[in-house]
Amino acid sequence: MKKEILIGFLVGVIAAVFGFVFAIQFFGQSDDWGIVIEQAISEGFFTKLMSIGALLNLGAFFLFLKKNKDHRAKGVLISTVLILITTMIIKFMN
Domains in the chain, number: 1
Burial 9-24 (b: 16+ CB within 10 A, else e): bebbbebbeebbeebb
Render pLDDT for 56-91 as a digit per residue (tens, 0 to 9). 999 999 999 999 999 999 999 999 999 999 999 988
CA angle in degrees (0–180, nearest 5) for 72-74-79: 95
Give residue 68's domain range.
Answer: 2-93
Give pTM, 2 decimals: 0.87
Render pLDDT for 13-44 as a digit per residue (tens, 0 to 9). 999 999 999 999 888 887 788 888 888 888 88
